[in-house]
Amino acid sequence: MIEKKELTCIKCPRGCGILVETEQGRIISVSGNQCKNGKEYAEKEATNPTRVLTTTVKVLFGTEKVVAVKSKDEIPKEKLLPAMEQIKEVQVEAPVILGETILEDLCGTGIPLVAAACVARKKLP
Amino acid sequence: MLQYDLVIIGGGPAGLAAADSAREMGIKSILILERDNKLGGILNQCIHTGFGLHTFQEELTGPEYAARYIDKIQEKEIEYKVSAMVIDITRDKRVKVMEKGAGLITIQAKAIILAMGCRERPRGALNIPGYRPAGIYSAGTAQYFVNIEGAMPGKEIVILGSGDIGLIMARRLTLEGADVKCVAEIMPKSGGLKRNIVQCLEDFGIPLKLSHTVTYIHGKDRIEGVTLSKVDENLEPVPGTEEFIPCDTLLLSVGLIPENELSKKLELPMDDKTKGPVVTKEMETMLSGVFACGNVVHVHDLVDNVSKEAKKAGISAARYILEEKI
Amino acid sequence: MYDVIIIGAGVIGTAVARELSRYQCSILVLEKGEDVCAGTSKANSALVHAGFDAKPGSMKAKYNVQGSMMMEELCGKLDVPYEKNGALVLAFSGEEKETLELLKKQGEENGVMDMVILEKEQLREKEPAISEEAEAALYAPSAASVCPFLLTIALAENANENGTEFWFEKEVTHIQKRQEGYEVKVSSYGNSGKQESYLGRNIINCAGLYSDKLHNMVSKKSFEIIPVKGEYCLLDKNEGTAVSSTLFRVPGKMGKGVLVTRTVHGNILLGPTAESISDKEETATSGEGLKKVLTDTKHTVPGLNTGMVITSFAGLRAHERNGDFIIGEAEDAPGFFDAVGIESPGLSAAPAIGAALARMAAGKNNYRKKEVFREERKGITAFASLSPEEKEAIVKEKPAYGNMVCRCEMITEGEILEAIHRPLGAKSLDGLKRRVRTGMGRCQGGFCTPKLVEILERELDISKLRITKTGGNSRLLTDEK
């Protein structure tokens, strides 16, 4: 049996409507997308939807209280909330450099959590 | 009195891109004035992705996008002041600045670029009946608390207005463990980007209630709930459709307006439609030598477009200064 | 045992406290709220009425005219913004014009000075924005505007400086006559309702909406306060030049009608409605009320841009069922003094009521005047109001004035620190707002709220989770990383 899924592409602000047809989890056709990224997104979204997770982590001894972090790559959508639980326990010490790895492996996905901003160490008075 | 060829007011995406392009055009004497304690503007609290697809061909978070421009500013050794608030500006391009730790400074500029960004419309503009308890925030204020201060404004949230910041906060607060009850939108269609409805609401099963608005705020000390009503085609609440939704927080995401204080001080003609100053194609205001770009001119959906516009403003301001020299 | 316990730290309680602090007696003020000016004093028209409204011979007439005459000097001494901008009562018909004459006569009988009737042309010359339909107006030049927050705060600070003690978040639950004086039982917030009691030889009841309840605890001659709700809208300062005087309509059955006034801070204030209600805590605005405020004022000033509303609020007037102020010692409770039914023109009358009650209490107990009474008080320096040279000087002297916290009203960290560390200083967001106007501007706290929370957290040395909007359970944040 062929299954049809209507999706809205989230790859860019255009937000194209895409129709994906699958048969037993296999992609048969993708239509409505206006670019290559759209096709990729739709194929993934229909079979194994993924997202980049962005949040913050508490910073010790920093000029800021928290630092923005993100999953270095997309992780399965259903891992977003479990990953948040894992991140909740994490604290980092300043200085933090943009791009530095905060966690090696988010919820067994193999994808690391990295800093998305820099935080300097607070100068002692 | 300090003298600069170009003074740029605002160190957010617009100001940074304008400074970068003016320097590319050969302007040496540039000063960026930023009222916050660091460069980057609102991008610092926009920790979600979705920035830079056009400018850098990759999807960056707000702080990452800002960092790319801040790096350029630093590499090019463009001068800037932070915690520096412009408190007065005159039509002969004299800028009075209060800088934390340094006091009052007067600066004479040859050209000025206005890049102060925008602000959120507050609750007053909505005039919602009911009490005025704690727990009512504009979406941007809540975003600052969560993403900069690491503090949660509440646990059970109703969001009024489906602008992009409201949608993004719905996801952000859900990830942080809050229960976002719904996003209510008075219009029959959301003002936010489709992608944000998908990845911020649908991903987490948060209902989007179109043609609905908050008609009463309950709770004397801390907000205890809101009455949500359906509205008719004239946006008037329909009697009998009231629904009580318990919550401890109400976020308002009801639109942005250009930050006009300084434009008004300069007596610039304003555009009724964009709510910002009238500008030429070259991003010059009606006052010769004063340029404007980014959300101070009109509210943009995409930071990439802000950067593009700011680049144009930087080039135009540079031309103005260079022509003046000849 | 205190000589005098004053219950309520609204404008009346603090005015009494300040006047009484001229005398050699110990004074305690008990307040239910977390700050002064937390009840009926905080939400009203911010006006010093000339005094032509009240019926000749009434307490309202007497204290209004007296208070109004004292107000300017008092505000001068206490460094409180006061602006004698005059009031106009507008007549829209021949019949209403006749009422103006009656009002004028009544005012003159009450002792109001310099009133004149303006004809259409003179009126339009004075206030060009007024509706073409206005036929004439009664002009009372002695009417003024005052900031009720700053007045109450100044009175309290000055009373405190002269030795008056203040306790906040103490709600009086019982008052009992004792051999000597009275025992006042309170439940205090945050003390899990634990009862405390205070002894006072004399009690002065300035409890606003609850003044009936307190009086009835000790007296058989009972009073009844009926709360009357008034809803208001405040407009952006950009609209602030629309009018300069306070504009009334000819009064009808339900009070003075919806007025248009310019506050001392330069915002246009519209309101109030008048609705008798039963719940003394029901300070909620309603759709109909706000609509009425905006439509009625549009009739007075058609060009008013009512789209510029920055906030709306409701206040409750403490209306005693017989309609007049009740001021003096209770007949059957010696040493128990009342200020009951203090609704409009209560703010105008406050200086006179304060002085009268202090005189009564001092006279009865033979208190002698102190040798030293500091009658002046200096307000917090408003950075935005300084000249460029003064600005430079203050930043040099106090660097915190060089850190701008509120962009809309140009309020610096220096002012905020002063507001927190003064006697009876601010403990909450609203406490700051009332002292230095943070969050009162067009963004209504959007930008400055997180910064204010941070400053309060640091200066009060408490967790930011305990910072409130206005005391009690009005916490701002629920969790922290």
**What's the pLDDT score for residue C440?**
83
**What's the pLDDT score for residue C446?**
86
Crossing angle of the two packed helices C148-161 and C346-365, in degrees rounded to 10 = 20
**What's the pLDDT score for residue C195?**
85
Query: Using an 8 Å Cβ cutoff, are C305 and B147 in contact?
Result: no
> What whole-number distance in Å separates Cα of residue B37 and Cα of residue A41?
39
Cβ–Cβ contact B238 with C under 8 A: no
Per the listing, tokens 């005098």 go with C4
Instruction: Say whether the ipTM exceeds 0.90.
Output: yes
B195 and A80 in contact by Cβ < 8 A? no
H runs (alpha helix) in B134-250: 139-147, 164-175, 194-196
Structure tokens belonging to residue C188: 């205090």
C242, C258, C262, C261: which is closest to C250 by C-alpha? C258
**What's the pLDDT score for residue C310?**
87
Residue C392 has pLDDT above 70, yes or no: yes
Mean pLDDT estimate for chain C? 94
Structure tokens belonging to residue C217: 């605890």
Q: What does the pLDDT average to over C120-133?
A: 94
Give me the DSSP letters along A81-93.
Answer: HHHHHHHHT-EEE
Q: What does the pLDDT average to over C404-430?
A: 94
Average pLDDT for consecutive 10-residue bins of chain B (326 residues)? 97 98 98 96 97 94 98 98 95 95 93 96 78 95 97 98 95 98 96 93 97 96 97 96 98 91 95 95 97 97 96 98 80
Distance from CA of A103 to the nearest CA of B (A): 18
Tell me the CA distances in angstroms from C36 to C42, C67, C212, C284, C468, one per residue in order. 9, 20, 20, 21, 15
Question: Per-residue pLDDT tens for C138-166?
Answer: 999 999 999 999 999 999 999 999 999 99
Question: Per-residue pLDDT tens for A1-18?
Answer: 888 989 999 888 888 999
Please name the residues between 52 and 81 in chain B that touch chain A, using a CB distance below 8 Å: 53, 59, 61-64, 67
Query: Using an 8 Å Cβ cutoff, are C80 and C146 in contact?
Result: yes
**What's the pLDDT score for residue C255?**
63
Q: Return the percentage of chain C with pLDDT > 90, whole number.
A: 89
Chain A contact set for C481 (CB, 8 A): 56, 58, 65-66
Chain C contact set for A65 (CB, 8 A): 481
Mean pLDDT estimate for chain A? 94
> Measured between CB atoms, which of C284, C443, C477 is closest to B122?
C443
Distance from CA of C49 to the nearest CA of B (A): 28
Could you tell me what percentage of chain B is helix, strand and coil, using 3-state DSSP and rounding each to the nearest 5? Answer: 30, 30, 40
Catalytic residue (choose from C49, C215, C265, C319): C49
Per the listing, tokens 């920055």 go with C310
**What's the pLDDT score for residue B131?**
95
**What's the pLDDT score for residue B65?**
98
Residue C1 has pLDDT above 70, yes or no: yes
Structure tokens belonging to residue C120: 């259409």
The SS3 of residue B60 is strand
Q: Comparing C107-116, C277-286, C341-350, C386-395, which segment has the lowest mean pLDDT?
A: C386-395
Question: Per-residue pLDDT tens for C37-76?
Answer: 999 999 999 999 999 999 999 999 999 999 999 999 999 9
> What whole-number distance in Å separates Cα of residue C350 and Cα of residue C334?
23
A84 and B67 in contact by Cβ < 8 A? no
**What's the pLDDT score for residue C445?**
86
> What whole-number distance in Å separates Cα of residue A70 and Cα of residue A59?
15
**What's the pLDDT score for residue B325?**
61
Band the pLDDT of C251: cuts 50, 70, 90.
confident
A119: CB partners within 8 A, 6+ apart: A59, A62, A63, A64, A67, A94, A95, A96
Band the pLDDT of C238: cuts 50, 70, 90.
confident
Q: What does the pLDDT average to over A77-104?
A: 97
> What whole-number distance in Å separates Cα of residue B70 and Cα of residue A79?
33
**What's the pLDDT score for residue B125?**
61
Active site residue C215: no
Cβ–Cβ contact B274 with A under 8 A: no
The SS3 of residue B172 is helix
C476 and B124 in contact by Cβ < 8 A? no
Distance from CA of C434 to the nearest CA of B (A): 15
**What's the pLDDT score for residue B56?**
95
Please give the torsion angle defined by the CA atoms of residues C377, C383, C389 and C394, in that order, rounded to the nearest 10 degrees.
70
Per the listing, tokens 């000075």 go with C113
Chain A contact set for B198 (CB, 8 A): 7-8, 10, 15
Distance from CA of C156 to the nearest CA of A (A): 38
3-class DSSP string for C81-133 = CEECCCEEEEECCHHHHHHHHHHHHHHHHHCCCCCEEEEHHHHHHHCCCCCCC
A117 and B147 in contact by Cβ < 8 A? no
Nearest Cα residue in chain B from C403? B100
End-to-end CA distance of chain B: 24
- The H or E element containing residue C156 is helix C148-161
C447, C418, C414: which is closest to C431 by C-alpha? C418
Give me the DSSP letters along B223-292.
Answer: --EEEEEEB-TTSPBPTT--EEEE-SEEEE---EEE--HHHHHTT--B-TTTSSB-B-TTSBBSSTTEEE
Question: Per-residue pLDDT tens for C262-296?
Answer: 999 999 999 999 999 999 999 999 999 999 999 99
Beta bridge partners of C204: C6, C337
- The H or E element containing residue C359 is helix C346-365
Tell me the CA distances in angstroms from C423 to C381, C420, C436, one per residue in order. 16, 8, 15
Chain B contact set for A15 (CB, 8 A): 193-195, 198
Question: Per-residue pLDDT tens for B291-322?
Answer: 999 999 999 989 999 999 999 999 999 999 99
Could you tell me which residues of chain A have a Cβ less than 8 Å from any Cβ in chain B? 7-13, 15, 51-56, 58, 64-66, 68, 70, 77, 80-81, 84, 98, 116-118
Distance from CA of B59 to the nearest CA of A (A): 9
Burial of B25 (0-12, 13-18, 19+ CB in 10 A): middle
Please tell me whether the overall predicted TM-score, pTM, comes out greater than 0.80 for this model. Answer: yes
B150 and A15 in contact by Cβ < 8 A? no
**What's the pLDDT score for residue C254?**
56
> What whole-number distance in Å separates Cα of residue C80 and Cα of residue C157?
12
Band the pLDDT of C190: cuts 50, 70, 90.
low
**What's the pLDDT score for residue C193?**
64
**What's the pLDDT score for residue C411?**
94
